[in-house]
Structure 1
Amino acid sequence: MINYIIPIVIVLLVFVVVVIVYRKKHHNEISRLEQKRLDVEMKPVLEELSKVKQLNMNGQAEEMFERWRNKWTELIDVDLKNAGEALLKIEDSVDKFQFKNATAQEQEIEQIIDRVDGETELILTELNELIESEENSRVEIEKLKLDYRTARKTLLAHQYSFGAAGEPLEKKLEVFPGQFEEYDVLISQGNYLQAKDIVNELDRIGKEIFQLISEIPNLLTEIQHKIPNDVKDIRNGFNEMQEQSFFLLHLEIPEKLESIEQILPPLKEEVINLKTENVSSQIESIKREIDGLYDALEGEAIAKLYVDENFDKMGERLDEVSGFIDYIKSEADKVQLSYHLTDVEIALPINARSAMNSYQQRYDLLAIEVTEEQSAYSSLKEELEDLKKLVDVQFEQAQMYSNKLVDLRVHENDGRAELSKLEDRQRELKRKVQKANIPGVPDEITARLHESELQLQTIREELLEIPINVGVIAAGIEKSDILISEAEEVIQEMINNVQLIELLIQYGNRYRMAKPGMDEKLTEAEKAFRDLRFNRALEVAAIAVDSAEPGSLKKMEEIAKEAVLKS
C-alpha cells in the first residue's frame, strides 16, 4: 500500500511546486507591467503642456495644445486605465491557475503600454520642438535685425565703396522689414512654427546678402584700383627697362597686361550684378600673374647687375685658369723626365687645355650677345653662371694635379726615409739572430730574412730608375714592412722559446737521475735543440719538467720573460 502512496505524494508535491513557480513568475510579470504602466503615466507631459500655455494661445499654438492635451487625457483615462484593470483580471486568472490565458493577456497589455509610451514620446518631442522653436526663433530674429541694421548703415555710410552694386543690395535688403513684421504677427497669433520658417528663410537670405556687403568693397577696390595700378606700374617699368636696352620680348608682358585689362570689365559687371562666386578666385589668379610679372622684371634687372659685375671678371678668370693650366702642363713635362706618370695623369693637362678652349669660345659668343643686346639678361646670367662653375671645376682639378706633381718629390723623399728605417730593422733582426745562444739558424728564419732583403733591394733599384715610379716604391715599402714585421715576430718567438728551453733543461737536470724517464726526455729535448727543432725541444722539456714538479713550467716562463726583457 505504501509503495502506491509514495509516488502519488511525489507527483502531488511536484505539481504543487510547479504551480507555485508559475504563480510567482506571473506575479512578477504583473508587477513589472504595472511599474512600466506607472512610468509612462508619470512622464512630464502636463509640465511641458504648462510651458506651452505661457505662449500666445492662439492659432497653431492653441490648436496643437488642445490636440496634445486631448490625446494625453485619452491615453491616461482610457488606455492606461484599461491596462491597469486588465492587470487585476490577470491576477484572478493566475489565482485560478489559468496560466496560458494569463500569458496571452500579459503580452497584449505590454503591447498597449508600449504603444502608449511611443505616443507619449511623440507628444513630448513635438512639445519640445515648439518650445525650442519659440526660444531659438526669438534669439535668431534679434540677431537678424541687428545684422540688417548694420548692413543698412554700412551701405549708407560707404556708398562710394559699393558703386553700382549698392542699388541691387538695397533691393535685396528691402525684404527684411516686411518679413520682420510678418514674424511678429505670426508670433502674436501663436503660429510659432510658421514664424520659425520665416526666420530660417531670412537667415538663408541674410547669409548671402551680408556676405556680399562684406566682400564687394574689397573686390571693387581690387578691380577698379589696385590691379589697374599694378598694370600701370608694370607697363611703365617695362617701357623704362626697354629704353635701358633690356631685351624683354620673351616675357610677353604687353600681351599679358592687355589680357588682364580685358578681364577686369566683365569681372566688375559680375560684382555689380552680385554674382561674386568666381570673382574672388579670378582676382587671386590675376594677382598671382601680376606678381609673376613683377618677379620677371626684377629678375631681368638683377640679371643685368650680375652680368655687368661679372662679365669682365669671367674673362679675367678664363685667362687666369688657362695660364695656370699651361703652367702645370710645362711642369708635368719637366716632372715626367724624373718621375713616372700614368697615361691618365699625362692626358689631364691636355684635356684641361681643350676644355678651357671650349669655354673661351662660349665666352666669346656670350660677349657678342652682350654687345648686341638682343638676348635676355636672365639667359646671359645663366650662361655666365654655368661657365663659372665649369671653370672653377677645371681650376680645382688643376690645383689637385699641381699638388700631386709637387708631392712626387715628397713621396720620393718619404720613400728613401722609409727604406732607411726598414734597412735598420733588417740589420737589427740579423744582429738578434747572431746574438742569440743557438746552435744554428733555422731554415724558416733564413728564408724570411732573405725574402725581406730581396724586397729591400728591389726598392733600392726602383729609386735608381729614371723616371722614378713613386707608386711602385710605395707598394714596395708596404710589402717590405709586412715581411720584416712577420720576421720580427717569428724571430722574437724563437728567442723566447730558446731562452725557455735552456731554463727548463737546467731546471730538469736536478730530477734527471731521480725521476724515471727524465734523463731520456731531457736527452730527446737536447737533441731536438741541436737539430734546430726548437718547438719540439720546448714541447718535450716542458712536459717532462712539469710532470716532475707541477707548476714549474709557469715559473720558468716568468723567469724567461724577465731574462728576455733584460737582454
Structure 2
Amino acid sequence: MIYFIIPIIVLIIVITIAFLFRRKHIQEVGRLEQEKLQIQHKPILEEMTKVKQLNMTGETEENFERWRNEWTEVMDIHMPKIDSLLFDVEDSVDRFRFGKATEVEKEIQDKIRFCDKKMNDILQELNELVGSEEKNRIEMEKLKEQHRAARKTILAHQHSFGMTVNPLEKELEAFNPKFEEYDKLTENGNYLLAREIVISLSTKGNRLFEIIQETPSLLTELQNKIPASIRELRNGTKEMEEQSYYLQHLELATHLDAIETELEELLSKMGELQIESVQQQTLAINDRIDSYYDALENEVTAKHYIDENYEKIAAKLSDITALTKETSNEAAYVQQSYRLNEQEAQIPQQSLKKLGIINKRFEVLITRIEEQVSANSSLQEELQHISEELGRIAEEQDSFANRLKNLRIDENNVRTKLEELSRRLQNTDRMLHKGNIPGIPDEMEARLEEADEQIYIVTQSLQEVPLNMSLVDTYLENAGKAVNEVSAKVEELLDNVMLIEWIIQYGNRYRASNPEMHARLLDAEESFRQFRYAKALEQAATAVEEFEPGAMKRIQELVKEHV
C-alpha cells in the first residue's frame, strides 16, 4: 500500500501548490488590470477641453498638439499592447507556466508605469498652463490697478514726495512696455512666458508701491521732525548752560552738526530711491537724538539729587565719624577687661582711616559743586559712592558696638551655664555614690574627675584679665560635653545594675532544678561583685534567655513598670 500512498500524497501536494500559484497570478492580473483602468480614466480630455477655451496660437497650440499625440499614443498603442499581454498571462497561468507568467507580468508593470508617468506629465503641464492663464489674469489686473492708483497718488500729492517725484514717475513709466508685452504674449497664447513677466512685475511692483507708501512719512521725518528735535536740543542746551549746567562733556553741538550733515546726504539718497538705507539711518539718528534727550534729563535729575542730598550726606559723614571715634574709645576701655582678636581690635582705627579719605573726597566734591565746572551726573555718581561707603562703615560700626556690648552678656551667660554644669555634675556624683551598687568602676571615677577638671578649667579662664571670651567659650563647650557624657554613663550604669538584680531574681526560680543555670548565675554575681556590670548583665541575660526564650522582654517590661 505504501507504494500507492506516497505518490498520491506527492501528487496532492503538487496540485495544491500549483493551484496556490495560479491563484496568486490571477490576483496579480486583477491588480494590473485595475491599474490600467485607472490610467485610462485620468481626466486628460476634460483638461484639454479647458485649453481649447484659451487662445489656440503660439506655444499653446504647439503644446496642445503634442499632448494630444502623446495621449493618443498611450490610448491607441500602449493600452492595447497591455491588454494583449494580460491575455498572455492568463493563458500561461491556465497552462501552469508560472515562470513565463511572471516575466510577462513584469513587462506589463513596466509599461503601466511608463504610461502612468506619461499621463501624469500631460496632466501636470495642462494644469500649469490653465493655472498660469488664470493667475496671470487675476494678478495682472491687480497690478495694473495698483499702478494706476500709484500714479494718481503721486500726481495728487507731489508736494509730499519732494525730490522723489521724477524718479518714481520714471519707475512707474517703465511698467508700460511690460504691460504691452504681456498683452501681446497672452493674445498669442504664450501664457507661460507671460507668467514670467507677471512674476517679474509683481516683485518690482511690491517694492515700488511700498516705497511710494513710505516716502511721504520718511520725508516728513527728515525735513521736519528731526530738524525740529535738533532745534529743541540746541535751545534746551542753551537754556541749561544759562542756568549754570556744565554740558561740555556731552559735545552736543558737534553731534547735532554731524546729524544735519547726515540729513543732507539722506535727502540725496531719497532722490535715488535708496529707501531701505535711508530708513535704517533714520532709525539710528532718532536713537541718537533720544540718547541726547536722556543725557540732558540725566543732568537735570543729577542736579536735583545733589541739591537734595549733599547736605544730608555731609551730616551723615559727621555723625558716622563721631560714632566711630566713640566706638574706638569704648573699644579701648573694653579691652582692659576683655581680650579682642587682632582683626576686631583694628576695626575702629581702620574705619577712621577710611573716613579720613572719604572726608577729603567730600571736600573736593563740594569744591567742584561750587565751581560748577563738572557734569552733575559725575558729581551725583561720586556723591552716591560716598553715601554707599558711609553706609557700609556705619553697619560695620554698629556690628562692632553690639559685639562690645555682648561681651559682658556673654560672660554672664558663661557663668550661669558653668553653675548649671557644676550642679549637674554634683547631682550625678551624688546619685552614683548613693546608688545601691557594690562599688564604682575605675573608668566611671576617671570620667567624673575629667568632667570636674573641665569645669575647673572654665572657672580659671574666667579669672584672667583681660578675659578671652573665645577661649572661654571653647572651654565651656568641652566642659558641657564631658558632663553630658558622664551623666549619660552614670544613668546607663544604674539602669544596668537594676536590670541585673531583676534578672538574677527572675532566674533564682530555676536554680534548684537546673544546676547549669545556677552555675551561670553564680558567674554573673561574681562579675557584679567585681564592679564589672556590663559583663554581669551579659552573662545573666544570656543564661535566662537561653533557658526561657522571651524572658528578657518580660523582665524589661517589669522593670519599666517598677520604675
Gap change, CA 1:38 and 1:558, over 3 Å in 2: closer
Aligned positions of 1:251-330 closer than 5 A: 251-330=250-329
Q: Is the 8 A contact 1:41 1:80 kept in 2?
A: no
Q: Separation in 1 of the partners of 2:361 and 2:477?
A: 48
Gap change, CA 1:30 and 1:241, over 3 Å in 2: same
Q: Separation in 1 of the partners of 2:429 and 2:109?
A: 119
Q: Is the 8 A contact 1:496 1:560 kept in 2?
A: no
Look up the equivalent residue of 2:533 and give its one-letter code: F
Counterpart in the other structure of 1:8: none
Look up the equivalent residue of 2:247 and give its one-letter code: L
Q: Is the 8 A contact 1:93 1:99 kept in 2?
A: no
Deviation at 1:367, TM superposition (A): 1.7
Q: Separation in 2 of the partners of 1:102 and 1:336?
A: 117
Q: After the TM superposition, which of the residue ranges 193-202 and 242-251 deviates more from structure 2?
A: 193-202
Q: Is the 8 A contact 2:320 2:390 kept in 1?
A: yes
Counterpart in the other structure of 2:6: none
Gap change, CA 1:186 and 1:537, over 3 Å in 2: closer
Please list the CA deviations of residues 421-469 of structure 1 after superposition, one character each: whole Å capped at 9, or x if unmatched.
Answer: 1121122112202321123332222222222122222222222222222
Q: After the TM superposition, which of the residue ranges 89-98 and 526-535 deviates more from structure 2?
A: 89-98
Please list the CA deviations of residues 490-542 of structure 1 after superposition, one character each: whole Å capped at 9, or x if unmatched.
Answer: 11122122223333444445555443255554544444333323233334444
Q: Separation in 2 of the partners of 1:362 and 1:134?
A: 84
Counterpart in the other structure of 1:12: none
Gap change, CA 1:225 and 1:527, over 3 Å in 2: same
Please list the CA deviations of residues 226-256 of structure 1 after superposition, one character each: whole Å capped at 9, or x if unmatched.
Answer: 2111212222222222222222222221111
Counterpart in the other structure of 1:13: none
Counterpart in the other structure of 1:354: 353
Counterpart in the other structure of 2:369: 370
**2:488 is aligned with 1:498:** no
Q: Separation in 2 of the partners of 1:548 and 1:70?
A: 116
Deviation at 1:197, TM superposition (A): 4.0
Aligned positions of 1:44-443 closer than 5 A: 44-69=43-68, 72-73=71-72, 76-77=75-76, 79-80=77-78, 83=81, 120-176=119-175, 179-180=178-179, 183-184=182-183, 186-443=185-442
3-state secondary structure, aligned to 2:465: coil
Mark the runs of 5 or more structure 1 residues left unpaired by the alignment: 1-15
Gap change, CA 1:342 and 1:121, over 3 Å in 2: closer
Look up the equivalent residue of 1:362 and give its one-letter code: R
Q: After the TM superposition, which of the residue ranges 198-207 and 543-552 deviates more from structure 2?
A: 543-552
Q: After the TM superposition, which of the residue ranges 214-223 and 57-66 deviates more from structure 2?
A: 57-66
Deviation at 1:323, TM superposition (A): 0.7
Q: Separation in 1 of the partners of 2:297 and 2:386?
A: 23
Gap change, CA 1:207 and 1:538, over 3 Å in 2: closer
Q: Is the 8 A contact 2:226 2:286 kept in 1?
A: yes
Gap change, CA 1:23 and 1:411, over 3 Å in 2: closer
Q: Is the 8 A contact 1:83 1:113 kept in 2?
A: no
3-state secondary structure, aligned to 2:276: coil
Counterpart in the other structure of 2:8: none
Gap change, CA 1:214 and 1:512, over 3 Å in 2: same
Deviation at 1:146, TM superposition (A): 2.5
Please list the CA deviations of residues 67-107 of structure 1 after superposition, one character each: whole Å capped at 9, or x if unmatched.
Answer: 54455446655x44884797699799989999999999999
3-state secondary structure, aligned to 1:464: coil
Deviation at 1:392, TM superposition (A): 1.1
Q: After the TM superposition, which of the residue ranges 107-116 and 216-225 deviates more from structure 2?
A: 107-116
Deviation at 1:119, TM superposition (A): 5.0
Q: After the TM superposition, which of the residue ranges 115-124 and 437-446 deviates more from structure 2?
A: 115-124
Please list the CA deviations of residues 282-329 of structure 1 after superposition, one character each: whole Å capped at 9, or x if unmatched.
Answer: 111111211222222222222222222222222111111111110111
Q: Separation in 2 of the partners of 1:428 and 1:328?
A: 45
Q: Separation in 1 of the partners of 2:532 and 2:430?
A: 21
Q: Is the 8 A contact 2:82 2:111 kept in 1?
A: no
Gap change, CA 1:23 and 1:422, over 3 Å in 2: closer
Q: Is the 8 A contact 1:90 1:106 kept in 2?
A: no
3-state secondary structure, aligned to 1:341: coil
Look up the equivalent residue of 1:196 and give its one-letter code: R
Mark the runs of 5 or more structure 2 residues left unpaired by the alignment: 1-14
Q: Separation in 2 of the partners of 1:553 and 1:121?
A: 98
Counterpart in the other structure of 1:532: 531
Look up the equivalent residue of 2:263 and give its one-letter code: L
Q: Is the 8 A contact 1:165 1:274 kept in 2?
A: yes
Gap change, CA 1:90 and 1:358, over 3 Å in 2: same
Deviation at 1:549, TM superposition (A): 5.6
Q: Is the 8 A contact 2:48 2:64 kept in 1?
A: yes
Gap change, CA 1:31 and 1:557, over 3 Å in 2: closer
Q: After the TM superposition, which of the residue ranges 38-47 and 384-393 deviates more from structure 2?
A: 38-47
Q: Separation in 2 of the partners of 1:122 and 1:312?
A: 91
Q: Separation in 1 of the partners of 2:132 and 2:501?
A: 118
Look up the equivalent residue of 1:53 and give its one-letter code: K
Q: Is the 8 A contact 2:86 2:108 kept in 1?
A: no
Q: Is the 8 A contact 1:161 1:217 kept in 2?
A: yes
Q: Separation in 1 of the partners of 2:298 and 2:223?
A: 28
3-state secondary structure, aligned to 1:337: coil
Q: Separation in 1 of the partners of 2:114 and 2:201?
A: 39
Normalising by structure 2, what TM-score?
A: 0.85
Look up the equivalent residue of 1:368 and give its one-letter code: T
Gap change, CA 1:61 and 1:562, over 3 Å in 2: closer
Q: After the TM superposition, which of the residue ranges 542-551 and 312-321 deviates more from structure 2?
A: 542-551
Q: Separation in 1 of the partners of 2:36 and 2:554?
A: 107
Q: After the TM superposition, which of the residue ranges 421-430 and 541-550 deviates more from structure 2?
A: 541-550
| RMSD (CA atoms) | 4.0
Counterpart in the other structure of 2:473: 474
Counterpart in the other structure of 2:3: none
Please list the CA deviations of residues 244-276 of structure 1 after superposition, one character each: whole Å capped at 9, or x if unmatched.
Answer: 222222222111111111011121111122222
